[in-house]
Structure 1
Amino acid sequence: GNCASIICQWSSGVVERLRNVSVPDVADSEVSCVVMESCILPCSFQGGTDVVIHWIQVTAGNLPVHSFYHNQDQLGHQDQRFRDRTSLFKDQISEGNTSLQLTGVKVQDQGRYKCHTSVIRGNKDSFINLKLDAPVDQVDLQQVDNRITCSSEGIYPEPELTWSTSPPSSLNLQHKTTKQKTEQLLYNIRSYLILSDSDLGYSCTVSTRRNRKRATLWRLCEYYLSVEFGSGAAEKPVQTGHQEPDPH
């Protein structure tokens, strides 16, 4: 038949719901941030003058992240990996805000941090667990003859990749998937599948704990001009090699 291939792509975010539970002050704070973005590690004390602040990355071997005393930053002992990436909210320190802003966060920044604050009337240690994600940004599908290749890059933590058909079928989808870790500790994932029925749509879904994205290869023959998706909403077909914007 005189058929053409198109690729459609859409995504769905995973909504995180936090239970409203009371926790003691000694519990670690949990912070989730996205790789290469800015991140704020929260910390506070009762306020006062002549405050001493030390931020330490505990899990990496108590690395000095940022220090502040004598009313100014003290970065002489700062570990090199944090150079030019840390700052405090100096106009709010006297009011008790000792939160740390970390820019360009990397997977290596993940872990447990200690915020030590000291004033004349006493000391306080707070602990923050930083969890990082690099969401699935794009899923690429390519077809050569009867072989489809699905790939996605720059993901954290380790992603999962699954194949499916539209409509669902009992076909055993023979595929091979490989994962590669980059120097930045991000994951690239690739899988290929041999087409066994050209009348089906073949979908590749790449997912992590934060989000998932899916791309589908459709085989459209003459006069079949639109595609209906499971939601009932028609989406515009896209030529091979192009990608639809994510729906909101």
Structure 2
Amino acid sequence: MKASEDSRSLRFFETVLELKEMHSGLGLTLLSVAVLTVPIPAQPVPETFTLNVPDGPISSKSGSSISLLCQVSPTFNIEPFEVKWYRFDEVNKPTLWYKDHKIQEAIMDPRFKGRVSLTGGLERGIASLRLERVTLEDSGEFVCYINNNNWYEKTCVVLAVSVIGSQPVISVAEARGGGQVNVTCSSEGWSPQPKVTWRNKEGTEITNGQEVQNTTDSQGLVSVSSWLLFSPSESDWLSCIVFLSDEWKTEGRILPVLPGGDYKKGFTVNQVLLVVLPVLFLVIIICALCFIIVFKRKGQIDQGLNVAETKRLIKENPVQSPANQTTSDNKDKLEENPVQSPANLTTTDNKDKPEVQSPANLTTTDNKDKPEGNTVQTPANPTTADNQVDLQGPENPVQSPANLTTTDNEDKLEDLLLGKKVKEEHITTDAKTASLAIRLSQKGKRVQYVKAKDKPDLQQSIHVLGNKGFDSGQHYWKVKIQDDDRKEEKLAWYLGVTKENAQCPLTPQNGFWVLFYEKEVGLHVYVDSVKTPTRQTTPTTVCVFLDCDKHTLSFYDADSGSLLYTFNDVKTTDTLYPVFSPGKRDPQPLKIY
């Protein structure tokens, strides 16, 4: 009985202690919130101070944003002080320089312009550096320097930038004996060196016979390859995971069977498609060729019958000249077999009777098939055109310029490119050059405007550059402006070329040769810094043609083949890069072919 009472007493005291700890933790949390929200009263400036920074490196993923912490101790207002951030070995090229209550942009390192700011609050003694769109080149030591003319301190902050590589590419090859296959997993573009893990469908890690090889390119990025021997019956699929951490990783999966392999699951869907699709494609091509041949032969037979019938009518029913139309016999013949002039031909006559050509269409005379005196004569042109009958049938209309279709214009554009022996450039975007309000797809082919939350549109230009530059030869690429399945009209965009370090405004004088579109204005360019309208059309796909040798830049409507505008004086010694803009405050994307 006493032991039971002691046990209950012990549990009671434990409960009391737990409640006390909970109340203590809650009170500490409320106290922390109060400290952070209550403004710090003005503190006197001490004679000396120190700087607090993180002990170890700060890790960040390429393309993200990061803050490098730097805070004075004790805490006081440092707004009147000089604050400078610079790379460890580049003191004369500051990353950011704050002095006289403002940012001094004149001598800042151009690599960081538009990407850096101070954060944390100088009035609270915090001078942290905010770095946007981090790149691999930003890795290394940054120096935080604070000076009040009487005392200064500086210290280093290390930034370690990680680059997430490509999606793993997995392949299967036949292994020698044992009923196993050799599975290979490759991924490239990593920094630092990643790890590789193989797992089966159940999530169990596979380590038997695994080998890994790493190679580093000139930019310091690592490519990794791993392979292992695997029995296809062990699992339905394999997973290859390449990772730097639990958050930064990529994964690929595959069914580890060979095409045509006699395994438990038989043929996979992919294997069946690999066999069926080529056969189906071949059958379609053969059917199309047969249809074209039959159609052409039928047209030739119909045209031959029309020519023979026309010759027979001309022989049997000659058209008399005015001088010969005096006898009643001739009048009767004309009444029985009238040859109608173009003014008398109706729609019904054209459908029911073979057409006898008007004088304007008769160009050559077949004297071998007609007796003298029986030709179709007019005062202006006494000749007949048998060959013209072949060209004037219903299957071979003579088109006027107004009847030219989109296909004709497309052929003209393609002929221009083929005549110059120009191959289409496969361009992606360079994420390092993207504006703050631009989102890019993983492959760099899709450019979209995305407004940052709680941030106004401060940038004058919203664009990104291509990954290729050109300084000689001819090049062209295509950009999809508007998808056919989208009902909303795109409000704005601009395309063209620019020099790598060109500045606003977007004019040829500043190194921008671009074609603009705004819904209220239409297509326009800048000539001598003056907005100049071009053809009033709204293309859905634009072809950009750059001729570096002739110093010209042309824009075509890729759907109709028509020329939109040409810059004839694109003269520069710098490399020209494609530039793409989805337009400000327009959520619809551009797509690069």
Which residue of structure 1 aligns with residue 426 of structure 2? none
Structure 1: state its 5+ residue gaps: 1-24, 224-237, 241-248
Cα distance per residue 1:17-59 (max 9 Å; x no partner): xxxxxxxx7675232211111111111232144221110111x
Matching residue's letter, 2:127: T
Is the CA contact 1:49–1:119 (under 8 Å) kept in the aligned structure 2?
no
Q: Partner of 1:64: helix, strand, or coil?
A: coil
Which residue of structure 2 aligns with residue 83 of structure 1? 113
Q: Partner of 1:199: helix, strand, or coil?
A: helix
Which residue of structure 1 aligns with residue 231 of structure 2? 197
Q: 1:217 to 1:66 in 2, by over 3 A?
A: same
Which residue of structure 2 aligns with residue 207 of structure 1? 243
**Correspondence 1:47-66 to 2 at 5 A:** 47-58=77-88, 60-62=89-91, 63-66=93-96
**Correspondence 1:1-248 to 2 at 5 A:** 28-29=53-54, 30=56, 31-45=58-72, 46-58=76-88, 60-62=89-91, 63-89=93-119, 92-119=121-148, 122-135=151-164, 138-143=167-172, 146-163=181-198, 172-173=209-210, 177-181=213-217, 183=219, 185-192=220-227, 197-201=231-235, 202-209=238-245, 211-218=248-255, 221-222=264-265
Is the CA contact 2:197–2:206 (under 8 Å) kept in the aligned structure 1?
no
TM-score (norm 1): 0.62
Distance 1:110 1:83 in 2: 17
Q: 1:170 to 1:39 in 2, by over 3 A?
A: closer
Distance 2:77 2:53 in 1: 21
Is the CA contact 2:51–2:70 (under 8 Å) kept in the aligned structure 1?
no
Which residue of structure 2 aligns with residue 17 of structure 1? none
Matching residue's letter, 2:139: Q
Is the CA contact 2:53–2:69 (under 8 Å) kept in the aligned structure 1?
no
User: Which shifted more, 163-172 or 122-131?
Assistant: 163-172
Distance 2:197 2:79 in 1: 57
Q: 1:34 to 1:172 in 2, by over 3 A?
A: closer
Cα distance per residue 1:190-216 (max 9 Å; x no partner): 3455x5532234443323256455544
Matching residue's letter, 1:73: I
Distance 2:212 2:170 in 1: 15
Is the CA contact 1:28–1:129 (under 8 Å) kept in the aligned structure 2?
no
- Greater Rg by CA: 2
Q: Partner of 1:77: helix, strand, or coil?
A: coil
Distance 2:216 2:151 in 1: 49
How far did residue 144 of structure 1 move?
A: 5.8
Q: Partner of 2:117: helix, strand, or coil?
A: strand
Is the CA contact 1:27–1:127 (under 8 Å) kept in the aligned structure 2?
no
Matching residue's letter, 2:254: L
Q: Partner of 1:78: helix, strand, or coil?
A: coil
Matching residue's letter, 2:98: F
Cα distance per residue 1:204-238 (max 9 Å; x no partner): 33232564555443458449xxxxxxxxxxxxxx9
Which residue of structure 1 aligns with residue 591 of structure 2? none
Matching residue's letter, 1:34: K
Q: Which has the higher strand share?
A: 1
Matching residue's letter, 1:199: S
Structure 2: state its 5+ residue gaps: 1-49, 175-180, 257-262, 272-593
CA RMSD of superposed structures (Å): 3.7
Distance 2:97 2:207 in 1: 61
Distance 2:221 2:100 in 1: 40
Distance 1:150 1:180 in 2: 17
Q: 1:76 to 1:176 in 2, by over 3 A?
A: same
Distance 2:241 2:79 in 1: 54
Is the CA contact 2:239–2:252 (under 8 Å) kept in the aligned structure 1?
yes
Matching residue's letter, 2:232: S
Distance 1:169 1:69 in 2: 58
Q: Which has the higher helix share?
A: 2
